[in-house]
Chain A
Amino acid sequence: MTTQTQKTTERNESQLRQFAANFIENKLAVVGLFLIVCVALVTVFASQIAPYSPTAQNYNAVLEGPSMAHPFGTDDLGRDIFSRVLFGYQTVMTITTSGVVVAFILGTVTGLTAGYRGGRIDQLLMRSVDVLMAFPSLILALALIAALGPSKWGVALVLGIAYTPIFARVARSEAVSLREEQFIKSLEVRGASQPRIMFRHILPNAVGPLIVTVTLQFAFGILTTATLSFLGVGVQPPDPSLGRMLTDGKDYLDTAWWFSVFPGIAIMIPVIGFNTIGDGLRDTFDPKQVNR
């Protein structure tokens, strides 16, 4: 029994290793992974790394340029921009992660049901998804926030709803092609229940494209969160928010460039990171490259 379990884990490990080896060959994706790992560490340990409190004002050091004391300079209220960027990451990552998780759950359940059941249920679900998709996600987000009122969790919910159609479409397309596979039919022959087939058999087989979508939606999520804050409808002050810092800094662009440039770069890093990882994963999941 133990030897069997050992064998299984060994084999799973070797498959994982094969996958990792293919992924590592894509240098750009590895850079992306590195960026994301950095961002993740910085986000988790923000309160340990940050030299100042993100909301501590210091009127003796207003709009100071980058220095040893303030690596990214200070803003118009004398707050340390470096510290604010770190805590800004915390906010944006919390919002994006919850948003993508909500979208993943809603979208996957909708898409799998539509794709597997087909027929009228498919029509009904996917047409509703189309309606949702017809709105540009930013307009949809603005409208929803106008209804919900601006708040951190409001933004997360909005992201969740706005990105549901994308997950639904990916999940549906996978389900539609997998439904025709013989092994799904033979599961039906064996009397497996529909939820079981959908979530135990179709979902694991569709996980590749879904993971790629997750990483890409993370990138978009960060951008949208920042955009909403930039427009003033996202995270409300005094919570540090990268988009908010961009807006505040744009008035001082000619005198204090660091005010908006560092938050801007801070937004860019995870977006680039997630995009390259997404592309890398897509290439790795490509069956033509996986040598089994």
Chain B
Amino acid sequence: MSSEPRLSLQDLEVTYTTKHDEVTAVDGVSVDIQSDEIFGVVGESGCGKSTLANTILRLLDDNGEITGGEIRYNGRDLAEMSEKGLSRTVRGREISMVFQDPNTSLDPVYTIGQQLTETIRQHLDVSKQEARERAVQSLDDVGIPSPADRLDDYPHQFSGGMRQRVVIAIALSCNPSLLIADEPTTGLDVSIQAQILDLLKDINENRDTSVVLITHDLGVVAEICDRVGVMYAGNLVEVSPVGVIYNDPKHPYTQDLLKSIPETHDIKEELTVIKGSPPDLRSPPSGCRYHPRCSKVCSEACETGEMPRVYHEGESSVRCYIYDAAENPEYEATTNGTDEQSGEQSQQTKRGEQ
């Protein structure tokens, strides 16, 4: 395990103000992104995944505001940094972002070479010629055939998958140490999706670049992530290594999510679904935000208490009263002791695979 996390979110809280209400879209999120990992963030629509991603680079809409917490990156708090300093030294230079739809992520009136060199020359002090060489190199890195020739092509001359590669090439052109990918494969067909995921994995392995992958697709997570954060109603309810998420999920929400994945090899009579819908964040439920839909409500605190704090369980951190000995008397008996080891093991086997 590396010592210093690359990015560390501390009790992050983001609030959108509308005419009538205040909505806390991200509430008390704390997580460390390590320097060599692909960190997945999963959750339903509207649970705050994209807000979380946008918050890291402070790209919230005008009515959104960071109302608490810290974004520690390289010893600085991005939440406190000036807009100018952020643009000059962080955005596109140290932290890059890739969006969902590659078809609209590129300016249609410039060639991709112009767009690549624009970003390169903005952040790095290089001549036009050098910038062009770097641009060719970036395109080559993301697997675009005959990159030197394609530099002068316009975005509309590329296919969707190629365009996403170009977008990733631009994001990587200044060697960022963190890449945030917000649903990078959503608009693409399945075979292209797999290629883009492989590309992200390659980048993570061959460069010193951590990846934060935002997705609603648990399959994508299983494929490439090292650790996963599960979001529900603005809370990060569970953070676990990917093996734990699939084999021994800690939070009832994660468990329910996994049960609701249709399986092709083991055809069930009926698909399990999570009943109800995510809560209205204008007035979030008291106690644990998942309790109205939770099948494992264990104590009164779930319904009426404070929001559960984060409990550390093996390598996982979970926001659930199940892991609070004071609230849940059965806790000691069922899970204590054994888990710590199994978590360790799964981590080791995973490292071994790589």
Contacts and interface: CB of A to CB of B under 8 A. Distances in A.
Q: Do A and B come from one complex?
A: yes
Interface of A: 4-5, 7-8, 11, 118-119, 181-183, 185-193, 200-201, 204-205, 292
Interface stretch (B69-77, B87-95, B302-310): B87-95
A190 B97 CA distance: 8
Nearest to A118: B62
B122 A189 contact: no
B148 A201 contact: no
A181 B119 CA distance: 18
B92 A189 contact: yes
Interface string B113-143: 0000011001100000000000000000000
Q: Which of B87, B88, B106 has the most CB of A within 10 A?
A: B87
Contacts of B87: 188, 191-193
A7 B156 CA distance: 16
Nearest to A194: B87
A193 B111 CA distance: 19
A185 B59 CA distance: 9
A63 B90 CA distance: 77
A8 B123 contact: no
B105 A190 contact: no
23 contacts: A4-B149, A5-B152, A11-B154, A181-B104, A182-B101, A183-B104, A185-B59, A186-B97, A188-B59, A189-B57, A189-B96, A189-B97, A190-B92, A191-B88, A191-B90, A191-B91, A191-B93, A191-B123, A192-B87, A192-B118, A192-B119, A192-B122, A201-B107
A186 B87 CA distance: 12
Contacts of A8: 111, 152
Interface of B: 57, 59, 62, 86-88, 90-93, 96-97, 99-101, 104-111, 118-119, 122-123, 148-149, 151-154, 156, 167, 170-171
A191 B122 contact: yes
Nearest to A5: B152
B74 to A, nearest CB: 16
Nearest to A6: B152
Q: Of residues A5, A186, A205, which shows the largest number of chain B Cβ atoms within 10 Å of its Cβ?
A: A186
B151 A186 contact: no
Given A118-B62, A186-B99, A191-B93, 20 more contacts: A4-B148, A7-B149, A7-B152, A181-B104, A182-B101, A183-B108, A186-B97, A187-B107, A188-B87, A189-B57, A190-B92, A190-B119, A190-B122, A190-B171, A191-B92, A191-B123, A192-B87, A192-B92, A201-B109, A201-B110
Given A191-B90, A205-B108, A11 B59 contact: no
Specify which of A185, A187, A192, A201 lies most central, judged by the most chain B CB atoms within 10 Å of its CB.
A187
A5 B123 CA distance: 25
Contacts of B91: 188-191
B295 to A, nearest CB: 39
A191 B156 CA distance: 24
Contacts of B59: 185, 188-189
A15 to B, nearest CB: 9
A4 B152 contact: yes
Contact of A204 (B93, B109, B122): B109
A204 B153 CA distance: 17
Contacts of A5: 152
Nearest to A204: B109
